[in-house]
Amino acid sequence: MSDPTITNDSIGPTIASADDETPRIDPVMRSRELAVLDALRSVVDPEIGMNVVELALIKQVLLGDELTEIKMILTTPFCPYAGSMIQQVKEAAEEAEGHEVKVTLLAERWDPRDAGLTW
């Protein structure tokens, strides 16, 4: 039996052994990812009044042993609360993970439909 391989894909961290072609979700990594997302629910966009998870601003959580990276977008390119929200995301995630978190802003445009919103 060979060693399992851990990969990240659209459903989160998965484990695939060389003997089994079907990847399985790693329950430890998935629980860590859910804990981070749950912590990020405390970060609210002050203009809209919804949290960054509900608004679909968190695009990816890359878990690491010593460093976790969160890739996110903003509701508008020149959001006046960007600095504050990024800092709050970093602090909430660091509290959940217990180690350093890097927040990366993506250039992707926010679409309210991703959050189930229609105007």
Which domain CATH number covers 58? Answer: 3.30.300.130
What mean pLDDT, rounded, does the chain reach? 87
Question: What's the token pair of residue 45?
Answer: 């966009």
Kindly state the helix (H) or strand (E) to which residue 71 belongs, with its residue range: strand 67-72
Which pTM value belongs to this model?
A: 0.78
The mean-pLDDT minimum among 51-55, 83-87, 108-112 falls in 108-112
Domain count, the chain: 1
The tokens for 20 are: 């089994």
Interatomic CA distance for residues 67 and 78, integer angstroms: 28
Q: Does a structural domain hold residue 88?
A: yes
10 assigned to some structural domain: no
Rounded CA-CA distance 109/104 in Å is 14
Query: Is residue 1 very low, low, confident or very high in pLDDT (cuts 50, 70, 90)?
Result: very low
The one-letter amino acid code at 29 reads M
72 in a domain, yes or no?
A: yes
Domain with 54, as residue range(s), is 26-113
- Rounded to 10 degrees, the C-alpha dihedral 22/26/30/32 comes to -160
